Amino acid sequence: MCYLCLTLIFFDKMNFLIINGPNLNLLGVREKSIYGEVSFEKYFEELKMMYGKIKLEYYQSNIEGELINEIHRVGFDYDGIILNAGAYTHTSVALGDAIAAVNIPVIEVHISNVHRREGFRWTTMIGKDCLGTIAGFGLNSYKLAIEALLSHLD
């Protein structure tokens, strides 16, 4: 029987954590032509309604070390992490090391298509430690990441 089925039968719901990094607390306000008009809090409510079968949590910080602490906190117990590390994606060796240190799958997410933007956004310091990357689908990137985790754990 698949991991997802066993988890649902014998344990509580699967537990996924969405982590947003710097400046993503300003979604809906910040550079709307790139990131859209909807706050993450509003979108997160929709996601929770869509995925009642999963325990979905959300954490945001503008501070690199706090993002690392959060990855450590859940990285041995939860079923998966969906991480939009914002600009730290392109700079943070420490975040990549944190992802490599834990033993649950992490999906790198970006709202915008970073490959169609400035050259410094083409580099990811975390991608090599993640299960995969989803970028360019607006807030829907997070939903696609949930689907990717579910199909990976199936």
Q: Which residues bind ligand DQA (CB under 6 A)?
A: 23, 84, 86-87, 89, 110-112, 114, 121
Decide if 114 contacts 140 (C-beta within 8 A): no
**CA separation for the pair 30, 14 (Å, rounded):** 32
State in angstroms the smallest separation of the CB of 112 from ligand DQA: 3
Q: Which is nearer to ligand DQA, 7 or 23 (CB)?
A: 23
Q: Which is nearer to ligand DQA, 87 or 101 (CB)?
A: 87
Tell me which residues are annotated as active site: 35, 110
State the minimum distance, in angstroms, from the CB of residue 20 to ligand DQA. 8
Nearer residue to ligand DQA within complex by CB, 36 or 153 = 36
Least CB distance to ligand DQA at residue 63 (A): 14
- CB-CB contact of 47 with 146 (8 Å): yes
